[in-house]
């Protein structure tokens, strides 16, 4: 009953908002031209008074009277025309009937097709329905309510964790996978899911924590393609592109023909080769350069490193949007133990890439995994 009362009030309000302007519309059209005629008559009188006082000459007075007469004739024609075209009683009645017909027809259709007496269903009631009839959001809410009351239900966490991961709710997925591992034990699948969730929360960067989870997965089950793929991705993110390509190729050779990871590995190999070709033409040290420099004398090593780092630094000043270049520069400083310079590079890169940009977020996650940030 409350529904029908509210619907009636809303309908009456909307109808009056349209009907009231229609009720007085017939008198409106001729008001403005009639006002203009009164103004023109006053202007004629003013001309007569100014002529009598000698303020204007007879010729000027005749010219002004002629112009005002033209305007009066035009205003009178407009008044007649708008008056004839105004809204008549029949037109207003038709519009009023149309306005009233809309709510009457819609109410009738809703009463026939709708379900006004259907009781409301709050979330708690919907969660008690058959799971097969629930949406994914309702299923997640059902699982969350259950786990809030039973936080040690490892099986529940195990079911909810991959759903969080697919929905992109990475922090919740990290918690769910961690609880599943704690209560149900460590498996390759759970460790891989945990690594993916940690990397997702870090903006796609395979951090040290996520890399450790993938390594645990491979220890439990060496033929886990997802863990192998992400560990190779970690190498690429560190600038070790050639090593990453070799890892992806080794992974690809062991995959069955129908594996869904074949496409991802092939695409990663192609992209890695392109990046490797670009890196070969650019100045700057890679991991092999830095490690080779460690075996030189102090003076030779310092000279070599300075040349390579200076070249990479110059390249980044010309092209500060090269995220892979910033990865290489920061990692080179970290390997060399030059923490402050690595921190300065992170700060410069963040300013160049944009503090709120996705690239800056990836660099922050990467440098954070190395123990470096832009803040002292």
Let me know whether 240 and 297 are in one domain. Answer: no
Question: Where does the pLDDT of residue 27 fall: very low under 50, low under 70, confident under 90, or very high at 90 and above?
Answer: very low
Among 178, 132, 186, residue whose Cα is nearest residue 151: 178
Domain boundary pick from 257, 278, 299:
278
Angle at 364 between CA 359 and CA 365, to 5 degrees: 100
Domain span at 212: 131-278
Domain boundary pick from 254, 278, 302:
278
Question: Where does the pLDDT of residue 236 fall: very low under 50, low under 70, confident under 90, or very high at 90 and above?
Answer: confident
Least confident stretch, 92-106, 174-188, 195-209: 92-106
* Contacts (Cβ under 8 Å, ≥6 apart) of 188: 217, 218, 220, 221, 224, 227
Which pLDDT belongs to residue 90?
A: 63
Question: Where does the pLDDT of residue 42 fall: very low under 50, low under 70, confident under 90, or very high at 90 and above?
Answer: confident
Model confidence pLDDT, tens digit, residues 56-95: 777 777 777 788 777 777 777 776 665 544 555 666 666 6
The three-state DSSP-derived secondary structure of 277-337 is: HHHHCCCCCCHHHHHHHCCCCHHHHHHHHHHHHHHHHHHHHHCCCCHHHHHHHHHHHHHCC
Distance from C-alpha of 52 to C-alpha of 49, rounded to nearest angstrom: 5
Among 169, 130, 180, residue whose Cα is nearest residue 138: 130
Burial of residue 333 (number of CB atoms within 10 Å: 0-12, 13-18, 19+): buried
- Of the segments 120-129, 285-294, 342-351, which one has the largest average pLDDT value? 342-351
Question: Where does the pLDDT of residue 31 fall: very low under 50, low under 70, confident under 90, or very high at 90 and above?
Answer: very low
Structure tokens at 363: 């660099």
pLDDT cut 90: percent of the chain above it? 27
Which pLDDT belongs to residue 339?
A: 84
pTM of the model: 0.51
Distance from C-alpha of 173 to C-alpha of 197, rounded to nearest angstrom: 6
Q: Are 267 and 219 in contact (CB under 8 A)?
A: no
Among 144, 152, 145, 173, residue whose Cα is nearest residue 161: 173
Average pLDDT over residues 276-293: 54
Which pLDDT belongs to residue 87?
A: 52
Average pLDDT over residues 288-317: 69
User: Tokens 């890679």 appear where?
Assistant: 286
In a domain, 274, yes or no: yes
Domain boundary pick from 258, 278, 298:
278
Q: Is the predicted pLDDT of residue 345 greater than 60, yes or no?
A: yes
In a domain, 330, yes or no: yes
CATH of the domain at 181: 1.25.40.10
Question: Where does the pLDDT of residue 372 fall: very low under 50, low under 70, confident under 90, or very high at 90 and above?
Answer: confident
Q: Is the predicted pLDDT of residue 25 greater than 60, yes or no?
A: no
The number of folded domains in the chain is: 3
> Chain-wide mean pLDDT for the chain?
78
pLDDT cut 70: percent of the chain above it? 67
Which pLDDT belongs to residue 197?
A: 95
Let me know whether 109 and 45 are in one domain. Answer: yes
CB environment 53-72: b (16+ within 10 A), e (fewer): eeeeeeeebeebeeebeeeb
Identify the three-state secondary structure at position 338: coil
Question: What 8-state DSSP symbol labels residue 2?
Answer: H
């Amino acid at each position: 009953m409350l529904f029908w009362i509210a619907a009636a009030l809303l309908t009456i309000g909307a109808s009056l908002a349209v009907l009231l302007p229609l009720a007085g519309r017939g008198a409106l059209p001729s008001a403005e031209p009639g006002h203009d005629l009164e103004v023109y008559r006053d202007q004629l009188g003013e001309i007569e008074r100014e002529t009598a006082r000698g303020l204007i000459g007879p010729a000027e007075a005749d010219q002004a009277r002629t112009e005002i007469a033209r305007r009066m004739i035009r205003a009178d024609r407009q008044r007649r025309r708008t008056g004839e075209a105004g809204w008549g009683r029949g037109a207003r009645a038709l519009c009023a009937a149309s306005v009233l017909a809309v709510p009457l027809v819609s109410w009738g259709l809703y009463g026939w097709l709708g379900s006004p007496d259907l009781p409301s269903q709050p979330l708690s009631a919907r969660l008690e329905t058959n799971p097969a009839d629930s949406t994914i959001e309702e299923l997640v809410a059902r699982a969350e309510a259950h786990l809030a009351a039973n936080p040690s239900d490892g099986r529940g966490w195990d079911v909810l964790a991959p759903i969080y991961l697919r929905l992109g709710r990475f922090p919740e997925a990290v918690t769910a996978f961690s609880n599943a591992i704690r209560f149900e034990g460590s498996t390759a699948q759970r460790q891989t899911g945990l690594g993916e969730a940690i990397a997702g929360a870090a903006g796609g960067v395979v951090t040290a924590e996520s890399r450790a989870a993938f390594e645990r997965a491979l220890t439990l089950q060496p033929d886990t393609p997802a863990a192998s793929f992400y560990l190779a991705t970690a190498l690429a993110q560190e600038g070790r592109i050639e090593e990453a390509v070799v890892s992806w190729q080794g992974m690809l050779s062991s995959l069955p023909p129908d594996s869904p990871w074949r496409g991802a590995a092939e695409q990663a190999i192609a992209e890695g080769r392109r990046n490797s070709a670009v890196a070969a033409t650019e100045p700057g040290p890679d991991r092999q350069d830095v490690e080779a420099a460690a075996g030189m004398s102090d003076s030779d090593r310092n000279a070599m490193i300075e040349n390579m780092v200076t070249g990479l630094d110059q390249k980044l000043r010309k092209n500060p949007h090269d995220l892979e270049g910033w990865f290489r520069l920061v990692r080179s400083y970290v390997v060399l133990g030059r923490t402050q310079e690595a921190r300065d590079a992170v700060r410069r890169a963040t300013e160049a890439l944009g503090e709120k940009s996705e690239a800056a977020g990836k660099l922050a996650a990467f440098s954070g995994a190395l123990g470096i940030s832009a803040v002292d």
